[in-house]
A and B are shown apart, each in its own frame.
Chain A
Amino acid sequence: MSIESKPSPRPASPADAPLKGRDKKRDWASRLVVLLPYLWLVLFFLVPFAIVFKISLSQTVMAQPPYLPVFDLAAGWQGVTNFVAQLSLDTYTLIGSDDLYLLSYLKSLQVAAVSTAILLLIGYPLAYGIARSPRGLQPLLVMLVVLPFWTSFLIRIYAWINILQRDGLLNDVLVTLHIVDKPPAWLSSDTAIYIGVIYSYLPFMVLPLYAVLEKMDQALLEAAADLGCTRVAAFWRVTLPLSWPGVAAGALLCFIPIVGEFVIPDLLGGSESLMIGQTLWTEFFSNRDWPVASAIAVALLGLLLVPILLYERLQRRALAGEN
């Protein structure tokens, strides 16, 4: 047995001691940094969600708070068992049995899906154009995309009411240009919802698309051209596949919040069919039915979990691809 192969214990020099102490401190600091996001998630997502979930299993009553059972700490163990015994799935049976809720869900999904598709069709060329414009101009163009955020969201939606109402700006233009004879009613319709949603969410589509298109190596397009691709073919075979992560990010960044959108359909949409956000609002504030409102929220989260998980997986794959 050779001497070298023996693992020799590291000689403990006096210089090692303070260094070790510092290492330990750094170790704790780094652990805390890792822990912080989890702490955040537990405090501001998991706990509130648990409360909402608990309320969704309760019964509505005319009281303060407007649901039963209420956790009674004074009653001890008896109180806990009483509390659990009173929980039920009634609210879920209700939202499953009444068409109103299902229709709201479907309506929300439809608005979100169609809007996301249109957003992609508008956002992709926009992002592509910005990414291909001169380097010096790009920050300005990106800023123009983000500029609407500098005004309150609510004010911008109210502005759309002004534009879309019967004697609003849009009809003025259409009538003046003789495109229509009689001013059509835009407001209180699905069209108005789509206009509002697409207008509001466009930056969320453009920015992630711009991010992937901007960092794409131009030499790849030259290589494609060199190997026989026209510009169009190079787009389909190189640019589009390479921008998939941006497409996925943009689509989910739009789709998920649009499903739960409340303000836009409430201000611009009609009353004949409601999106799930409006239904939830009605249950909560008009009917004061907290348990049903909570059940809707929980069901909505379950519904959105699918695309969120899908996005998670895509992102993980993209990360793995970079390493």
Chain B
Amino acid sequence: MADDGGLAGDKPVLVRFESVAKHFGALIAVDALSLDIGRGEFFALLGPSGCGKTTLLRMLAGFETPSAGRILLDGEDISSVPPHRRPVNMMFQSYALFPHLNVEKNVGFGLRQENMPRAEIAERVEAMLALVRLSGYGKRRIDQLSGGQRQRVALARALIKQPRVLLLDEPLAALDKKLRAETQFELMELQRKLGTTFVIVTHDQEEAMIVADRIAVMERGRLMQVAKPAEIYERPNSRWVADFIGEVTLIEGRMAGAGALETALGRLRIAAEAAAPGATVWLALRPEKLRMSRERPAGEVNALAGTVFEIGYRGDISIYKVRLADGSPMKVSLANTGAGGAPLFSSDDRVWLSWPPEAGVVLTR
């Protein structure tokens, strides 16, 4: 059963993958995967390279045909519809802009293929260029544009046919960090303005969290978790997801009943019963949920002593690695609120780590 993370009730299903599989010879790129994407959603397919996310997107575009299963668009099976007849457009990772055409011919390419009158094409191209803030660039050659401008031409070209779904294959991977951050917000704004369903493929978890309404985390052709960004971060359903999204420390233990966990570090309190007593589980702790102090904190149920052995300074925060009594490391992040923005602790400091029971997530797999 697909865990679709609660497709919002006001968003009817637009795209449905039904047990879709794709094999390349012996390689299983996508493995019997079922997934619903709602109308008007900004949906992200997230996973490490080779996890099958791009293959899934290419099957939706029509460049690959599923080895098994069906793909429905608005209830209609499009599995065998060739790409040129799908009401779906794609923005390519390399942008794939036509080097022999100028900006306006690139943007108007899809409309020309529909034999739309020239005057109307010109009008629509103009409006689209204005939308992506490229007015006046129509006559430029592609090789005269910067990376960011090319990215927007590619976006305009994919949007001009008013697709039912816009597919974005690593759309921002070629941009530098600052431009990428700006463009992420532009993409969100554009999606809200147009109301078009966006499906983005990315390996950048931060990007997926920022832009998407919902994220599907993929690994080895399967869905690991489908949920809203905050839910994926705060309540990952497995060690794999917890580890893939953000930083985490995992502590193995055995359920001891009554909200307690027996671990190598001693008895730890947890918020709720997550498994039967005696079962092996893992406590996932995010670095920013932990407190760090020089004295043993009074009144905290979970407190562990350790020694700081590594500090990663990031400007706004510092990430401390603390060696615990049993030798295992734990990550803690703290804002740099010391005098002059200095990190609060230094290497070899003896510290206490503490957290309330509800700060950790108990994972059973």
Contact = CB atoms under 8 A, between A and B. Distances in A.
Nearest to A218: B96
Nearest to B90: A226
Nearest to B88: A226
Nearest to A320: B143
Given A222-B63, A321-B143, A230 B84 contact: yes
A227 B96 contact: no
A229 B82 CA distance: 10
A98 interface: no
B61 A226 contact: yes
7 contacts: A222-B92, A225-B83, A226-B158, A228-B113, A228-B114, A229-B84, A237-B113
B161 A228 contact: yes
Given A227-B157, A227-B161, A230-B84, A222 B113 contact: no
B80 interface: no
A225 B84 contact: yes
Nearest to A242: B100
Interface in A88-123: none
A80 interface: no
A244 B85 CA distance: 28
Given A241-B100, A242-B99, A321-B99, A227 B89 contact: yes
A46 interface: no
Interface of B: 61-63, 82-85, 88-90, 92, 94, 96-100, 109-110, 113-114, 141, 143, 157-158, 161
A226 B89 contact: yes
Nearest to A219: B96
B99 A223 contact: no
A222 B100 contact: no
Contacts of B100: 238, 241-242, 244
A220 B142 CA distance: 14
B319 to A, nearest CB: 39
Contacts of A244: 100
A219 B109 contact: no
A114 B157 CA distance: 41
A244 B97 CA distance: 17
Nearest to A223: B96
A233 B96 contact: no
Given A222-B63, A227-B109, A238-B100, 6 more contacts: A219-B92, A219-B94, A223-B97, A226-B90, A228-B84, A244-B100
A323 B142 CA distance: 11
Nearest to A323: B143
Interface of A: 217, 219-220, 222-230, 233, 237-238, 241-242, 244, 321-323
Contact of B109 (A224, A321, A323): A224
SS class, residues of chain A in contact with chain B: helix
The 9 A-B residue pairs whose C-beta atoms are closest, nearest first, are A227-B110, A219-B96, A223-B96, A228-B113, A225-B83, A241-B100, A225-B84, A226-B90, A228-B84
B351 to A, nearest CB: 49
A226 B110 CA distance: 8
A223 B113 contact: no
Nearest to A322: B143
Contacts of B88: 226
A122 B82 CA distance: 30
Contacts of B89: 226-227
Name the residue among A225, A237, A242, A244 with the largest chain B CB count within 10 angstroms. A225
B354 to A, nearest CB: 53
A133 B109 CA distance: 28
Contacts of B62: 225-226
Given A222-B83, A238-B98, A228 B110 contact: yes
Contacts of B90: 222-223, 226
Contacts of A233: 84, 113
Contacts of A229: 84, 113
Contacts of B161: 227-228
Nearest to B112: A237
Contacts of A241: 100
A220 B63 CA distance: 13
B82 A223 contact: no
B78 to A, nearest CB: 14
A230 B86 CA distance: 12
Contacts of B96: 217, 219-220, 222-223
Given A217-B94, A217-B96, A226 B143 contact: no
Name the residue among A223, A228, A321, A323 with the largest chain B CB count within 10 angstroms. A223
A319 to B, nearest CB: 12
Contacts of B109: 224, 227, 237
Contacts of A323: 143
Given A222-B63, A242-B99, A227 B94 contact: no
Contacts of A223: 90, 92, 96-98, 157
Nearest to B86: A226
B19 to A, nearest CB: 25
Contacts of A217: 94, 96
B164 to A, nearest CB: 13
B82 A225 contact: yes
A224 B109 CA distance: 8
Contacts of B83: 222, 225-226
Contacts of A238: 98, 100
A225 B141 CA distance: 22
Contacts of B61: 222, 226
B113 to A, nearest CB: 4
Contacts of A226: 61-62, 83-84, 88-90, 158
Nearest to B154: A223
Name the residue among A225, A226, A244, A321 with the largest chain B CB count within 10 angstroms. A226
Nearest to B163: A226
Nearest to A227: B110
A65 B174 CA distance: 70
A243 to B, nearest CB: 10
A36 B88 CA distance: 57
A225 B94 CA distance: 16
Contacts of A242: 98-100
A194 B90 CA distance: 48
Nearest to B143: A321
A230 B62 CA distance: 13
A296 B254 CA distance: 100
